[in-house]
Structure 1
Amino acid sequence: MKKNIFAIILISILFSCKDNKETKAVNNTVIVKDTVVETAENEVVVEEEEFKKDFAILLPRTYRTYNDVNEAASLNEKWLELYEENGQYYLGKAKFKIENGYDECVGDSTKSISPENKALIFIENPELKTGKIKSLKIDKNKIWPGEKHSFTFNSQTYTLRGEGKVLSEEKVSTDDDKTEIYKKVENYKLYLTAGSTEKLLLKEASFNDTFVELLFAGDIDGDGKLDFIFGANRDYEEERVILFLSSKAENGNAVKKVSEIAVQFDC
């Protein structure tokens, strides 16, 4: 009888210990959950306005077909092209060929735009005036955080300024067999100042082996002021280009973002 009583007491103690451990575990879980909730509630989320382009742009490259739609199919002779010839830029009627192909990665058809000239971009805006484009020679195409670069166009000074956090630096080889310093950057912002007005052109939280590059600075729309084309790839398997025009600028700003294209070629 005494043995039975001792066994019952022992079992009760064991279950009591187990219940205490489970209670502690549950309490710990609640604490962690509450902490996460509090952190989420304290976060400030800033939503950007959805960008609506004024007109389309295309690049001289290969485009994949998605849901029976291919961007390259929209290109026709009514489009214009910004192209380079002997160090000078021109705006003229688009001259190109469309070549059909197949992409093994996505298992679907492709269309490639092959320009007759050395085209930088194609522009779906026939209102722009064709002819020679006054442009600047770009001697610095990357504005890293903490850097500024100024240039003058038609007696107006323009300054690009970069902000952000540099995580690391390394020497890398370029396509023309040169070496340059590549910086891994997060929370990047690029500003443009013209006169007394500074404008935020673009911002990116991070880059994957890429960075923002100035591809063109010149007067595309013929108003005597600078327009800009930036390459802003966020990933090494993306080609993204953004066009800014001065003639569309509002509220005292020097330029306005009017079009953007981003092409993915991951596998």
Structure 2
Amino acid sequence: MQTGISYCFLLGWLLCSCSETKSNHNQSIQDTAAVLLQQDSTSVFTTTALVEDTTVRFDMSEVPSEPDTKIKILEIGNFHNNEVWKGADNKQWYGLFQTTTGYYVKKTIVQVKTVYDALLDTKYVWSGKQVSVSDKDTCLLLITGISLPERNIDTVVMSQKTIWPSEKISFTVDSITYTLRATGKRQKISNEVSDYRLYISIIKDGVEKQQLLVVHDVFDDTMTVVMWVGDLDGDYKPDAIIDVSNHYNNHRPALFLSGEASEKEIMKKVAEFSQLGC
């Protein structure tokens, strides 16, 4: 009888032990599965995370074609995409340079680089154009499409760069007197100008020759500016750079050359360069 009880006790103990072992084994499997699932979840998250593309791309979609004028001009500085034409840096350029003692013209190397345009560009898509030259002196204007003698230039010292209606400025080049004069209407209080006309005239052999250079019916918070006058092309006659814009947000220098003028003209407008501020 005692032996039967012992067998029963032993059998019960074995069953309980097996049950506990199985329970512990199942819990171990569950714990291991949870760890693996957690690791797999981390792995999936890592492989699908988005990485920001920091590559800078250049937008060339609005680069204009080369102007069809024989002579072309540029300025140095930063410009919008549609203001500097494709291949401009492949041309043979002359620069009109200013020093502390005067002006000179010489061949120069022009570089055009795509840069960030703060007004139009996104962080990683750039379209702006930076025009620079190899020379360190101040470059007033870049000219291509014409051969210019490299030399120091005789320059007219202008007493004022803006010629208002009813005003005039005279200067002498090679013993000939030239006069810049303006007509139009000017409001006394606001200084607003309308019906503006800028003329240049000479008197040679007792005969006056007059030419109309700039015409604007209205201005928007700006005024015509005579930027520079001097003998750029070496024919002993004055040439001029005039900002012919009539809007405050537009800078538009125009080059007038005496060497390209007809018999009826004193100087001819041969090129313009237009730049918007914003």
Do the two structures share a fold, i.e. TM-score over 0.5?
A: yes
What SS does the corresponding residue of 1:93 show, helix, strand or coil? strand
The question of 1:221 aligning with 2:241 is answered no
Q: How many residues align?
A: 202
2-structure distance, mates of 1:169, 1:221: 41
Amino acid at match of 2:227: L
Contact 1:141 1:215 in 2 (8 A): yes
Larger Rg: 2
Deviation at 1:235, TM superposition (A): 1.4
Residues 239 and 267 in structure 2, CA contact (< 8 A), matched pair in contact too:
yes
Aligned match of 1:20: none
- The letter of the residue matching 2:194 is E
Secondary structure at the aligned position of 2:213 is classed as strand
Q: 1:242 to 1:233 in 2, by over 3 A?
A: same
Separation in structure 2 between the aligned mates of residue 144 and residue 224 of structure 1, nearest angstrom: 27
Distance in 1 between residues matched to 2:146 and 2:132, nearest whole Å? 20
Rounded to whole Å, the distance in 2 between the matches of 1:202 and 1:52 is 22
Higher strand share: 1
The answer as to 2:80 corresponding to 1:64 is yes
TM-superposed deviation, 1:185: 0.6
SS in 1 for 2:260: coil
Q: Indicate if the aligned counterparts of 1:63 and 1:72 stay in contact, CA closer than 8 A.
A: no
Q: Distance in 2 between matches of 1:61 and 1:211?
A: 22
1:75 counterpart SS class: helix
What residue number does 1:36 align with? none
Q: Does 1:193 align with 2:232?
A: no
Superposed counterparts of 1:5-154, under 5 Å: 53-66=69-82, 70-71=84-85, 73-76=87-90, 78-107=92-121, 109-115=127-133, 116-154=136-174
Runs of 5+ consecutive residues of structure 1 not aligned to the other structure: 1-50, 171-182
* TM-aligned CA distance change 1:191 to 1:64, over 3 Å: same
Q: Do the aligned residues in 1 keep the contact of 2:93 with 2:110 (CA within 8 Å)?
A: no
Cα drift, residue 261 of structure 1: 1.2
Q: Is the 8 A contact 2:70 2:145 kept in 1?
A: no
Bigger drift between 103-112 and 237-246 goes to 103-112
CA distance 1:56–1:157, change in 2 (3 Å): same
Which stretch shifts more, 221-230 or 56-65? 56-65
Q: Structure 2, unaligned stretches of length 5 or more?
A: 1-66
Deviations 1:209-248 (A, max 9, x none): 1111111111111011111111122212111001111111
**For residues 54 and 169 of structure 1, what CA distance do their matches in structure 2 show?**
43
Letter in 2 for 1:207: F
Q: Cα deviation per residue 1:108-134 (whole Å; 9 max; x = unaligned)?
A: 511112343201110013511111111
The 2-side partners of 1:81 and 1:62 are apart by: 17
Q: Which runs of 4+ in 1 moved over 6 A?
A: none
Contact 1:72–1:112, Cα closer than 8 Å, also in 2: no
Post-superposition shift, 1:52? 7.0
Q: Over aligned residues, Cα RMSD in angstroms? A: 2.1
Preserved contact between residue 73 and residue 111 of structure 1 (Cα < 8 Å):
no
Residues 58 and 72, structure 1, Cα contact 8 Å, conserved in 2: no
Taking the aligned partners of 2:245 and 2:150, their CA distance within structure 1 comes to 29
Q: CA, structure 1 residues 141+70, in 2 after alignment: closer, same or farther (shift >3 Å)?
A: closer
The answer as to whether partners of 1:135 and 1:217 remain within 8 angstroms in 2 is: yes
Question: How does the TM-score come out when normalised to structure 1?
Answer: 0.70
Alignment pair present for 1:166 and 2:186:
yes
Q: Is the 8 A contact 1:72 1:111 kept in 2?
A: no
